[in-house]
């Protein structure tokens, strides 16, 4: 097929369809709504693909869990405030071990915030947003072609890890139009493994702690830990097969820039001056790769669209200080990157001169 | 086959208190399931949080024990993906009409083919007997010590905002009528809601003057009356079934959602 101009949000829908998704439920919210609209248009000519515009994000998140249990690969798409409303259901999907995909096209929060401006402030919410302990798997592409590619990976990984996988995007990436040739992206699709409801079993899919026979296990710590460790081990093991990252730019520099999603694209002019580490699998943290690569560099700089959410994770993993360049208030631009580097005394002279001219 | 085959009797005794009304619903539901040939290959149960939610664990079906208030979105999605299945929601009045109220409102509008059995004990039983949206005005509970102040939610009125929907009012005392209501609800080709007044002796009845569950059942016997045949609206404490016009069973247009028709008669 020929090259085409495609938007990041539309690429997510196409990736989902390619991965075998047959159910979408969602609620309109900027800047993710193109996914919902594209899903409704796709459903109109593909009866096997079911679409429901729900009354809210709570219904959407629970509906995709029900649809997945019924046998459909399912997904939803939202942004910060809606993603917050979905957190309880995400914990529920973790507890049930249901494969499904949540897409979060980030904007500037908290609360209603700046609905059309890009942000990256949901990094920790994707890991710790629901109550209790669970093991999240999260991917964050940085181009339209990658929106397509990693949506397929997200569905595959959800099937293998038996968990809700999160695909991060942002207002900038979701609305970015780029020329892509999707036929050059070949990702094998992992088929469904979970036996659908009404296959002749009497299973109990319970958010409450229960024994395998359905009896309440609400006061049995040993049973809780057994189930928790089993789920955690499966997710960590599967995540190893999805350890996507990019390491490049000027590897001989003494400074390593860490940036992901659209921020890595914005920071492209830094390529001659710094090395780059871009995690694509945001969670679980790529700690082995990060430790090995970071050890080669004198300085680490995390450039991100939040006030240090990922920087704090890097510091915790590496036990060393990092420089921070937070891009706040939707100011995700090269100018903001320059200002941030200048503030910490790391702006390359040539870039400063370009800025002046 | 016997209705007992629908129940996991090996898990007995249940967690329900002696005198609880939920078991009376489970028995009638199992009998109807036996009569209609519902089994684990054609039926799914979806239950909410509250004492009633445990029913799914005690029955011989795949069962989804949802988050608090979220039975309806889960059930509707299952019915959408697998329209051939019987999807039966069993939950309490607090779960369905309070925290899940918005989903109820919109499921009524969309008219998916799901059956909702509401164990209506007029309080939050599992959490200790607090007032809820179905508590009658004046009822003293642990969170309304001077008596509940607000009018109960009008479930009949809500359900009947869709002219295609099915609403039944019954009690656990009126077992024959309860069974008829459950049966017709499951057979209904759209959204059906069975509002079942039931007793919570431990966390409500005793506190409002009933010495035992038996007295509560006798109260239902005395207070509730059958509505005249053909009633299109049930008065206070009237029992009956108010059926709308069944939505046509034509295939749903692709992309039109999961519903079977609009509320326009």
Q: What is the DSSP string of A14-49?
A: HHHHHTTEEEEEE---TTTHHHHHHHHHHHHH-TTS
Chain B, residues 38-77, CB within 8 A of chain A, namely: 40-44, 46, 49, 56-67, 70, 72-77
B3-243 CATH choice from 3.90.1010.10, 3.40.710.10, 3.40.50.970, 3.40.640.10 = 3.40.50.970
CA–CA distances in Å: residue B94 to residues A19, B27, B49, B128, B133: 39, 22, 9, 12, 7
Question: Does the pLDDT at position B71 exceed 90?
Answer: yes
Which part of chain A is CATH 3.40.50.970?
4-184
Question: Does the pLDDT at position A5 exceed 90?
Answer: yes
What are A285's two structure tokens?
């943290």
Alpha-carbon distance of A135 to A311, in angstroms, equals: 20
Count CA within 13 A, CB hemisphere, residue A201. Answer: 16
Do A325 and A316 meet the contact criterion of CB atoms below 8 Å apart?
Answer: no
Alpha-carbon distance of A66 to A55, in angstroms, equals: 16
Question: Does the pLDDT at position B253 exceed 50?
Answer: no
What are B48's two structure tokens?
């909410």
Question: Does the pLDDT at position B252 exceed 60?
Answer: no
pLDDT 10s digits, A21-41: 999 999 999 999 999 999 999
Task: State the pLDDT at residue B160.
Answer: 96
| Residue from B1, B59, B49 nearest B26 by CA | B59
Question: Does the pLDDT at position A15 exceed 90?
Answer: yes
Q: Does B43 sit within 8 Å of A66, measured CB to CB?
A: no
Do A168 and A104 meet the contact criterion of CB atoms below 8 Å apart?
Answer: yes
Do A332 and A259 meet the contact criterion of CB atoms below 8 Å apart?
Answer: no
Give the SS3 label for residue A202: coil
Torsion of CA A249, A252, A254, A260, to 10 degrees: 20
Domain with residues A246-356, CATH architecture:
3-Layer(aba) Sandwich (3.40)
Question: Does the pLDDT at position B229 exceed 70?
Answer: yes
pLDDT 10s digits, A315-326: 999 999 999 999
Alpha-carbon distance of A86 to A102, in angstroms, equals: 9
What are A178's two structure tokens?
């780029």
pLDDT 10s digits, A302-316: 999 999 999 999 999
CA–CA distances in Å: residue B196 to residues B163, B191, B256: 21, 16, 32
Task: State the pLDDT at residue B78.
Answer: 98
Task: State the pLDDT at residue A217.
Answer: 95
Task: State the pLDDT at residue A353.
Answer: 78
CB < 8 Å to A198, chain B:
40-44, 61-62, 82, 85
CB < 8 Å to B62, chain A:
197-199, 201-203, 205
Alpha-carbon distance of A259 to A266, in angstroms, equals: 9
The Cα of A133 is separated from the nearest Cα of chain B by a number of Å equal to 17
Task: State the pLDDT at residue B265.
Answer: 36
Alpha-carbon distance of A139 to A166, in angstroms, equals: 6
pLDDT 10s digits, A39-96: 999 999 999 999 999 999 999 999 999 999 999 999 999 999 999 999 999 999 999 9
Alpha-carbon distance of B238 to A142, in angstroms, equals: 62
Q: Does A213 sit within 8 Å of B62, measured CB to CB?
A: no
pLDDT 10s digits, B12-68: 999 999 999 999 999 999 999 999 999 999 999 999 999 999 999 999 999 999 999
Please tell me what DSSP assigns to residue B98.
I
Biggest alpha carbon–alpha carbon distance for chain B: 56
Residue whose tokens read 């390529």? A271
A215 shares contact with chain B (CB less than 8 Å): yes
Strand B115-120, strand B62-65: pairing: unpaired
* Nearest CB neighbour to B62, from listed A23, A50, A201: A201
Region B101-126: what's the mean pLDDT?
Answer: 97
Task: State the pLDDT at residue A214.
Answer: 87
CA–CA distances in Å: residue B42 to residues A257, A283, B83, B117, B240: 56, 39, 10, 18, 28
Instruction: Write the DSSP assignment of A241-297 as a string of letters.
Output: TT--EEEEE-TTSSEEEE--THHHHHTGGGTTTSEEEEESEEES--HHHHHHHHTT-
**Can you say whether the dihedral through the CA atoms of A270, A275, A281, A282 is positive or negative?**
negative
Question: Does the pLDDT at position B261 exceed 70?
Answer: no
pLDDT 10s digits, A101-146: 999 999 999 999 999 999 999 999 999 999 999 999 999 999 999 9
Q: Does B57 sit within 8 Å of A214, measured CB to CB?
A: yes
Domain with residues A4-184, CATH architecture:
3-Layer(aba) Sandwich (3.40)
Q: Does A202 sit within 8 Å of B74, measured CB to CB?
A: no
A163 shares contact with chain B (CB less than 8 Å): no
* Cα of B249 vs its chain's centroid, Å: 24
* ipTM of the modeled complex: 0.97
Region B131-153: what's the mean pLDDT?
Answer: 97
Give me chain A's average pLDDT, please: 97
Please tell me what DSSP assigns to residue B244.
-
Chain A residue whose CA is closest to B8 = A202
| Residue from B247, B251, B244 nearest B262 by CA | B247
Alpha-carbon distance of B223 to B216, in angstroms, equals: 10
Task: State the pLDDT at residue B112.
Answer: 97
Alpha-carbon distance of A344 to A346, in angstroms, equals: 6
Task: State the pLDDT at residue A321.
Answer: 95
In sequence order, what are the residues at sequence separation of 6 or more whose Cβ sits closer than 8 angstroms to the Cβ of residue B229? none
Give the SS3 label for residue B154: coil
Long-range contacts from B104-108, C-beta under 8 angstroms, 24+ separation: B104/B72, B104/B158, B105/A55, B105/B158, B106/A54, B106/A55, B106/A59, B107/B72, B107/B76, B107/B191, B108/B158, B108/B159, B108/B161, B108/B162, B108/B165, B108/B191, B108/B193
* Nearest CB neighbour to A43, from listed B58, B77, B255: B255
Q: Does A70 sit within 8 Å of B81, measured CB to CB?
A: yes
Region B127-148: what's the mean pLDDT?
Answer: 97
Alpha-carbon distance of A343 to A218, in angstroms, equals: 52
Task: State the pLDDT at residue B247.
Answer: 82
Chain A, residues 30-69, CB within 8 A of chain B, namely: 40-41, 43-47, 49-56, 58-60, 62-67, 69
Give me chain B's average pLDDT, please: 94
pLDDT 10s digits, A166-177: 999 999 999 999
CB < 8 Å to B41, chain A:
198-200
Rounded percentage of chain B residues whose pLDDT exceeds 70: 94
A7 C-beta neighbours (distance < 10 Å), count: 19
Give the SS3 label for residue B213: helix
Alpha-carbon distance of A79 to B119, in angstroms, equals: 36
Cross-strand bridge partners of residue B90: B47, B117
Task: State the pLDDT at residue A6.
Answer: 98
Which part of chain A is CATH 3.40.50.920?
246-356
């Amino acid at each position: 097929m020929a090259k085409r101009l495609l938007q990041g949000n539309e690429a997510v829908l196409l990736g989902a369809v390619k991965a075998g998704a047959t159910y979408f439920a969602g609620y309109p919210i900027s800047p993710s709504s193109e996914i919902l609209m594209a899903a409704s248009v796709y459903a109109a000519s593909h009866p096997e693909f079911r679409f429901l515009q729900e009354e809210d994000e709570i219904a959407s998140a629970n509906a995709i869990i029900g649809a997945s249990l019924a046998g459909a690969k399912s997904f939803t798409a939202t942004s910060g405030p809606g993603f917050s409303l979905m957190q309880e259901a995400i914990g529920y999907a973790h507890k049930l071990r249901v494969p499904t995909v949540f897409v979060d096209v980030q904007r500037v929060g908290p609360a209603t915030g700046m609905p059309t401006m890009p942000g990256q402030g949901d990094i920790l919410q994707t890991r710790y947003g629901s109550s209790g302990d669970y093991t999240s798997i999260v991917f964050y592409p940085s181009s339209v072609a990658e929106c397509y590619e990693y949506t397929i990976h997200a569905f595959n990984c959800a099937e293998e890890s038996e968990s809700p996988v999160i695909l991060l995007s942002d207002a900038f990436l979701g609305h970015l139009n780029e020329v892509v040739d999707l036929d050059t992206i070949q990702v094998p699709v992992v088929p469904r493994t979970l036996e659908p409801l009404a296959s002749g079993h009497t299973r109990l899919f319970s958010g409450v702690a229960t024994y395998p026979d359905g009896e309440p296990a609400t006061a049995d710590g040993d049973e809780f830990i057994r189930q928790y460790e089993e789920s955690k081990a499966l997710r960590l093991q599967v995540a190893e097969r999805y350890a996507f990252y990019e390491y490049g730019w000027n590897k001989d520099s003494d400074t390593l820039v860490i940036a992901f999603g659209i921020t890595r694209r914005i920071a492209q002019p830094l390529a001659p001056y710094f090395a780059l580490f871009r995690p694509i699998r945001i969670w679980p943290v790529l700690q082995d790769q990060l430790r090995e690569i970071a050890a080669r560099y004198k300085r680490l700089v995390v450039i991100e669209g939040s006030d240090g959410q990922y920087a704090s994770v890097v510091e915790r993993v590496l036990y060393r200080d990092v420089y921070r360049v937070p891009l706040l208030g939707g100011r995700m631009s090269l100018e903001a990157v320059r200002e941030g580097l200048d503030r910490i005394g790391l702006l390359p002279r040539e870039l400063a001169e370009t800025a002046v001219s | 086959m016997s209705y007992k085959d629908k129940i996991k009797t090996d898990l007995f005794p249940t967690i329900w208190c002696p005198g609880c009304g939920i078991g009376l619903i489970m028995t009638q539901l199992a009998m109807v399931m036996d009569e209609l040939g519902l089994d684990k290959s054609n039926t799914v149960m979806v239950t909410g949080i509250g004492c009633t939610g445990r029913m799914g664990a005690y029955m011989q079906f795949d069962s989804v024990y949802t988050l608090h208030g979220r039975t309806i979105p889960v059930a509707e999605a299952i019915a959408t993906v697998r329209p051939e299945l019987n999807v039966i929601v069993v939950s309490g009045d607090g779960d369905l009409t309070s925290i899940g109220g918005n989903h109820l409102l919109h499921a009524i509008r969309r008219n998916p083919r799901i059956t909702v059995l509401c164990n209506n004990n007029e309080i939050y039983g599992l959490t200790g007997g607090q007032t809820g949206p179905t508590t009658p005005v004046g009822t003293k509970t642990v969170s309304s010590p001077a008596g509940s102040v607000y009018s109960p939610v009008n479930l009949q009125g809500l359900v009947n905002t869709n002219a295609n929907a099915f609403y039944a009012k019954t009690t656990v005392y009126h077992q024959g009528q309860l069974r008829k209501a459950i049966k017709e609800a499951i057979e209904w080709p759209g959204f059906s809601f069975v509002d079942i007044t039931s007793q919570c002796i431990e966390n409500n009845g005793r506190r409002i003057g009933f010495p035992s569950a038996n007295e509560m059942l006798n109260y239902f016997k005395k207070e509730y009356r059958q509505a005249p045949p053909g009633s299109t609206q049930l008065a206070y404490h009237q029992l009956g079934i108010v059926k709308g016009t069944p939505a046509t069973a034509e295939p749903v247009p692709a992309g039109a959602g999961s519903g079977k028709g609009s509320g326009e008669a």
